[in-house]
Amino acid sequence: MAQATVHFPRGFLWGTATSSHQVEGNNTNNQWWQWEQDGHTLDKSGLACDWWGGRWKEDLDRAAEAGQNAHRFSVEWSRIQPEPGRWDEAALERYRAMLRGMIDRGLSPLVTLHHYTDPLWLAQMGGWETEAVVPLFEKYVRKVVEALQEYATTWCTVNEPNVYAVAGYLGQGFPPGKNDRKLAVQVLANLLRGHAAAYRAIHEIQRDARVGYALHYRPMLAARSWWPPDRWARNLVHKQLNLGFPAGISGGVLRSPLGNVSVPEARNTQDYVGLNYYTVETVAFDLRNRKEFFIRHFFPEGADLSPDNFAANIPTGLFDSIKWATKAFPDLPILITENGVPDPDDRLRPRYIAQHIHQLWYAVNLNWPVKGYYHWSLADNFEWERGWSQRFGLWGLDVETQARIRRPSADLYAEICRENGLSSEMVAKYCPEVLEKEFPD
């Protein structure tokens, strides 16, 4: 066996990511809670990970003890502004306490301001379907940043705006459960406007802030690259999911297969590129799949799949995603704001982590400006319409007792964080099945 260790630059950020609705519990005043009560999800979030009840302390203790030096989390708009004209100062103080807790534990905070959830009162007004949301979002952002600026300087305005629009407005399981391609573009354009307004507001309040958003980036492959219909299908999906929002940031025009939307105020409103990468997708033109506009999505035959077939372990896709970011935004640093796999038995996750971290190192070794990595997630949390059926955590969660269950991948990630690198010994210990591939003799 080749003995080797690949190291990352000094000061590299190693963290995990969470979001408010998925970990806090009893978020009863947003549209997702209502969506759960109406029976649209496999399970109900309930107490989630009971962060609102104080268990964030023990989870952040675990993160710090594991050598992590950063954490990405989100604040809940519906808690901070429970009604249009009312702010909850006690909720803001609770978030200040969480941020102080991160800093006290040596965890550099990255604060997400919108992670899929909207206050019920906003949803009842039409949410992101109308431009009226933009000044409301800006007002909320100003309130939060003014309250938390003592403890945070890195902000994520919106998480995965492309997924929010596609999943909520192309019939894929998110509220409001509509299927309207034109409305999906309208929602995405308003999210872009909201991001731009938030970007400027944050910089007005905090000049040294770093502001960006988190893009769900999924590389697409044509099933048969030689066949024009497959290439057409691949390009359509790639543009719709991956490129629309970034085009608005780089050029001030949201690009969509259904037409372009001019949002000039969004141009250059990004201080870093936030990438959420999970897997690669193969796309084919299929006349039998009328419901999805004759497009079929699948993973390559023989792919290393998660137990629920939700994701394929394709580490080179992370490298390719970073490569895209360096070309699209050549002057900006890059953060991997999410990366992980659902795996309740922790059989796939160790090699998924090791192989993705190795690809991350290849990117850093090319002098590409990757500055941090946030694994999804610290502990099992509520996975939206999929409920508790998916387990992404380094730590397992017993939903009934709130007990945390240490998985082997928690120890692997801890060794990576402490070493600021990946070694052949780690791979041999936690995922020997890929040792020869990652560290060949």
Q: What is the per-residue DSSP string for 368-431?
A: --EEEEEES-SB----GGGTTS----SEEE-TTT--EEE-HHHHHHHHHHHHTEEEHHHHHHH-
Does the residue 84 lie in any domain? yes
Tell me what the mean pLDDT of segment 58-67 comes to.
98
- Answer yes or no: is pLDDT of 1 > 70: no
pLDDT band per the 50, 70, 90 thresholds, residue 294: confident
The confidence score (pLDDT) of residue 172 equals 87
Does this model's pTM top 0.95?
A: yes
pLDDT at 50: 98
pLDDT tens figures, 164-175:
999 999 988 999
What's the confidence (pLDDT) of residue 293? 78
Is residue 428 in some structural domain? no
Report the DSSP beta bridge partners of residue 14: 373
Q: What percent of the chain has pLDDT over 90?
A: 94
The pLDDT of residue 138: 98
- What number is the average pLDDT over the span 359-376? 98
> Please, what is the average pLDDT of the chain?
97
Q: What is the pLDDT of residues 227-252, one digit of tens each?
A: 999 999 999 999 989 999 999 999 99
pLDDT number for residue 277: 98
Is 22 contained in some domain? yes
Single-letter amino acid code for the residue at 326: T
Terminal-to-terminal C-alpha distance of the chain:
6
- Assigned domain for 259 exists: no
What does each C-alpha distance from 326 to 275, 339, 358, 368 come to in angstroms?
A: 11, 18, 18, 7
Is the pLDDT confidence value at 3 over 90? Answer: no
- Does 290 or 335 have the greater pLDDT score? 335
Q: What is the pLDDT of residue 257?
A: 82
Burial class (CB within 10 angstroms; exposed 0-12, middle 13-18, buried 19+) of 265: middle
Asked if residue 415 is part of any domain, the answer here is: no
**C-alpha span between 329 and 389 (Å, rounded):** 36
pLDDT of residue 2: 64
Which amino acid is it at 192? L
Query: Can you give the pLDDT at residue 171?
Result: 84
CATH number at residue 325: 3.20.20.80
Band (288; pLDDT cuts 50, 70, 90): confident
Residue 279 lies in a domain: yes
Q: What's the total number of domains in the chain? A: 1
Which residues span the domain enclosing 35?
10-239+266-408
Q: Has residue 247 been placed in a domain?
A: no
Tokens of 249: 């940031």
The number of beta carbons lying within 10 Å of the beta carbon of residue 153 is: 18
The answer to whether residue 426 sits within a structural domain is: no
Q: State phi, psi for 243 to the nearest 5 degrees.
A: -105, -20
pLDDT, position 254: 96
* Mean pLDDT value of segment 193-218: 98
* pLDDT at residue 223 tops 70: yes
Query: Over 60: is that where the pLDDT of 397 sits?
Result: yes
Distance CA 141, CA 62 (A): 30
Tell me the per-residue pLDDT of 74-121, one tens digit each, with 9 for 90 and over.
999 999 999 999 999 999 999 999 999 999 999 999 999 999 999 999
